[in-house]
Chains A and B, each alone.
Chain A
Amino acid sequence: MSDSRPDPKADQHGFAGTAGPPATADQEEEPTDGHRLRRWLASSARRERRLQQTGREPDPRFTFANERTFLAWNRTALALIAAGLAVAQFLHFNLHELRLVIAVPLIVLGAALAVASYLHWEDGERAMRLRQPLRYSWMPRVLAGGIALIALVGGILAVIDRLVH
């Protein structure tokens, strides 16, 4: 595809969804995922202003639904954090530090979900403003897999703790 042709998905400011500004002539190589993440974090305030200026205001009902989805994920994140705290306080192993193996990943998973839920909200809001299809969310898969893995590890640790002591 020629670089001179305009991106058909770009809005009036030249931004195509969440792809960010087009690459300049100085950027000869494709940026890595780490570079993309750092640039996104540094420009979050500018992104918010761009969001308000991007596309057209969608149906308010869709905006509210997107907001409720974000709040539901945020409550899930808080529940995971609370579960990690409860494990640390109420789960007793003969080896005291084993509870951290279950508690810390739960809290970290909760924190990661909180960040991911905001990013997902913003993606959804941008897609609705640009009349684009909504992106597939990997969060349910990560949540289910994470909880299953932590539960499995917890079960194994409980058995080992009982057998060893």
Chain B
Amino acid sequence: MARERTALAWRRSALNMAASGTLIARAAFTADLVVLGIASALSMGAMALLTWNHGRTIYRRRSSTSGFPHHQPGALGLLTGATLLIAAVALAVTIAV
């Protein structure tokens, strides 16, 4: 059940990322930053998909592979980097709006 809760947490994070990307894209289009809007929508959609897929993958691997390392510093670091990128783009769009 702990694995299930963790997988669900990854999925919630993916949904949050998708929602934030939608907001950023909308704000960019409102500010007439069409290229930034399209780029942010595509990139954040891809990040959300990767996050979703990662949650699914580690759920399967944690249940089937006894030697699988449970802590995921690389994935968590990437997620933190993605969040920082979202913050940087949001800041740029906020100032431009």
Contacts and interface: CB of A to CB of B under 8 A. Distances in A.
A111 B10 contact: no
Secondary structure call for the B interface? helix
Contacts of B94: 84-85, 88, 100, 103-104, 107
B12 A71 contact: yes
A77 interface: yes
A161 interface: no
B96 to A, nearest CB: 9
Interface band, chain A: 35 or more
Contacts, number: 116
A121 to B, nearest CB: 6
Interface stretch (A8-16, A56-64, A145-153): A56-64
A27 interface: no
B50 to A, nearest CB: 14
Q: How large is the interface on B (under 10, 10 to 19, 20 to 34, 35 or more residues)?
A: 35 or more
A93 to B, nearest CB: 13
B80 A51 contact: no
Interface string A112-140: 00110110011001000000000000000
A88 B23 CA distance: 11
A82 B19 contact: yes
Interface string A61-81: 101111110111011011101
B41 interface: no
A60 B70 contact: yes
Given A67-B76, A117-B80, A60 B2 contact: yes
Contact of A48 (B19, B74, B84, B90): B74
13 contacts: A48-B74, A48-B77, A66-B71, A67-B76, A74-B16, A81-B83, A81-B87, A85-B20, A86-B23, A104-B94, A107-B94, A111-B84, A114-B87
Given A60-B62, A115-B84, 5 more contacts: A51-B71, A72-B9, A81-B83, A88-B27, A89-B26
Interface of A: 44, 48, 51-52, 57, 60-61, 63-68, 70-72, 74-75, 77-79, 81-82, 84-86, 88-89, 100, 103-104, 107-108, 110-111, 114-115, 117-118, 121-122, 125
